[in-house]
Structure 1
């Protein structure tokens, strides 16, 4: 074997797991202790030099084939509660590039009707889909499951009285650049910026936008009476605003300024203002009420800013998620679309907020979020109102996820 190939074989084998073993003493030809690699029968073992810096092992594949019996609680879940959300996913997938792979399952779903029995639904999913265990790059299979909801704020159409914090629509000078036609691997990425002469530069950060708020009055949709509530509206991505006459305005995510999301809870912990166990949504709100003079500085520590649009939706429907369909309380989740396809069924195995009570059920990947990054990562939609907000604010659980994919959409 040529020397270069011999060294390559040795290096690859070392990457497989012997880099941390001590360098052994000389051995008889052909003997193979724990660390050395035997490139050929009878050849001397090859060991890494003492203190050698080796490359990290390759990342684990994000989707690992699984069996239905691997899904804890799959046989006990009320699949009928997830069925309306699945039918909504089918509507959102029509026209997408992957639609031909989803269509056979969605056509059969339509034929089953709106209220099939649980046995029929279980046979449907087990015959039409293959489960895959979502796996982090380092090979772990657990991740963080948080919660979100649709809040209710008080506001007005004019900046009178207490309603003086602007809810902004998309500014005219915001550029959103989609690179997917040129670079298909970047289909889940968007560039945001603005023109400065003939150059595209980053768009204004939150602090810069607040300093320029007067120039953005033409894009103001509403004024609300609480800056911290407006901030959490941006984190949730949708909400409702009650006007002085009692009418309700529905708001939904329209765009974002392109800056990365920074957790203000983490900022408060780093500044010594809160302990980690206090940094829930409710804890941050309480801190803001007690420290009104520090609120703007805290909010500006997060450079990300979300712009909204008004939605014409019935009060009974959930907000519109990234898939373009209404979210279903307790059956829709936000995911990172780089690893979990939008619209896909996902079996979630976690626990209820601040509890060991199991939360194991079929949900649908119908939304995304600036803070939802990673393979085993989800934001669980609790619904609308104060009770949903209380649950969402306390939820920071560990969980596992299995994505269900039709033939042809799994890893190759």
Structure 2
């Protein structure tokens, strides 16, 4: 009986603690309405380019205030005037510093059929992996033969390491020998938690934290194929794909709004703070400062917080190299419809 009582109070205490932490997190969120003159570099941006990207996804925003603005956007002639007339810049903070990173769409070399060169399959998700959570680990999927002779291969690529990083990104293009492409997108996962290979290399003493990057990991795995395979098995998570044939190869991959995202105009955000589809002014510091109006069209598991964003750099190796170097401070300011912006403020301020 004593154990039951103690267990009961432990559960109650945990629940109260969780509610208190949630309330504290909520109380940390603050909103400040700015003027467009407060946005560094606003007058120098290409507002027409941002408006074009905004139009691509605003029709999927269902709230009436966004819907009416989307209708106006379709007829707007002066892009800068449109944003300044119908929006107000809102800086949302929740107690964390601003952080910008970059992401990209990998491009792999592949073929529709297996050969000596193209021998690493990109798999569709098997039905049992959807019902069993978690399903098999990465090691089991690749070594047990469970995927063989089932027609689950979407296509074949020539590099197992690039395939591993394709799974981390979640989508990519495969270039065929004849110059054509197919695009694959996230199709599900085996249910195991992602484990960082970079952190594991640091833990094993292979590299120091400041030395680890995607390129460093790839080079090390290729130089040490046996140990490298074991290192990749450390990440038990395995991502499956689907062919995204509805997106032409010259357009960007699908974002969280199921629309193509645009190089250097789309960002991934935390939708708990920033509405998907909203225009967002970013002021990224660092080696290559960036002042630009972006559109929040994507999300990511590591993108958490009101002042956190991931910039879509583009497709291919060069974009990947640029994206991998971005880890910069700064701030982001969300452009909200006027009434919605003022509704965020405490009553005493309005």
TM-score (norm 1): 0.70
Give the alignment of 1:205-354 within 5 angstroms.
Answer: 205-215=137-147, 217-312=150-245, 313-351=247-285
> What are structure 2's unaligned runs of at least 5 residues?
1-19, 346-350
Measured in 1, the distance between the counterparts of 2:163 and 2:206 equals 21
**Paired residue total:** 319
Q: Distance in 2 between matches of 1:303 and 1:90?
A: 38
Higher helix proportion, which one? Answer: 2
- Relative to structure 1, the CA distance from residue 73 to residue 304 in structure 2 (aligned partners, 3 Å threshold; closer, same or farther) is farther
Equivalence for 2:73: 109
**Mapped contact 1:131–1:403 kept (Cα < 8 A):** yes
Q: What secondary structure sits across from 2:179 in the alignment? A: coil
The 5-angstrom pairing of residues 8-407 of structure 1 reads 58-59=24-25, 60-68=27-35, 69-93=37-61, 98-112=62-76, 116=77, 120-136=78-94, 139-143=95-99, 145-175=100-130, 194-195=131-132, 201-215=133-147, 217-312=150-245, 313-351=247-285, 355-406=286-337, 407=339
Q: Residues 172 and 387 (structure 1 numbering): CA distance in 2 closer, same or farther, change over 3 Å? A: same
> CA 1:211/1:371 → structure 2, altered by over 3 Å: closer, same or farther?
farther
Structure 1 323/272 Cα, relative in aligned 2: closer, same or farther at 3 Å? Answer: same
Q: 5+ residue gaps in structure 1?
A: 1-54, 176-193, 196-200
Deviation at 1:237, TM superposition (A): 2.1
For 1:134 and 1:263, how far apart are their aligned partners in 2?
Answer: 30
> For 2:141 and 2:30, how far apart are their aligned partners in 1?
40
Distance 1:73 1:303 in 2: 45
Q: Is the 8 A contact 2:59 2:67 kept in 1?
A: no
Shift of 1:63: 4.8
Which structure would you say has the larger Rg?
A: 1
Cα distance change of structure 1 residues 70 and 212 upon mapping to structure 2, 3 Å threshold:
farther
Q: How large is the Cα RMSD of the aligned pairs? A: 2.5
Q: Structure 1 pair 376/211, CA: closer, same or farther in 2 (3 Å)?
A: farther
Q: Deviation string for 1:118-150 (max 9, x for gaps)?
A: xx32332233223222323xx23422x211112
* In structure 2, C-alpha distance between the alignment counterparts of 1:63 and 1:225, rounded to whole Å: 49
Q: Cα gap change, 1:230/1:71 in structure 2, threshold over 3 Å: closer, same or farther?
A: same
Measure how far apart 1:107 and its partner are. Answer: 0.6
Deviation at 1:72, TM superposition (A): 2.5
> C-alpha distance in 1, partners of 2:145/2:101?
32
The farther-off stretch of 239-248 and 339-348 is 239-248
- Taking a change above 3 Å as real, the CA distance of residues 132 and 209 of structure 1, as seen in their structure-2 partners, is farther
State how far apart, in whole Å, the 2-side matches of 1:301 and 1:131 are.
44
Greater RCO structure (CA 8 Å; 6+ sep): 2
Q: Give the match's secondary structure for 2:291.
A: strand
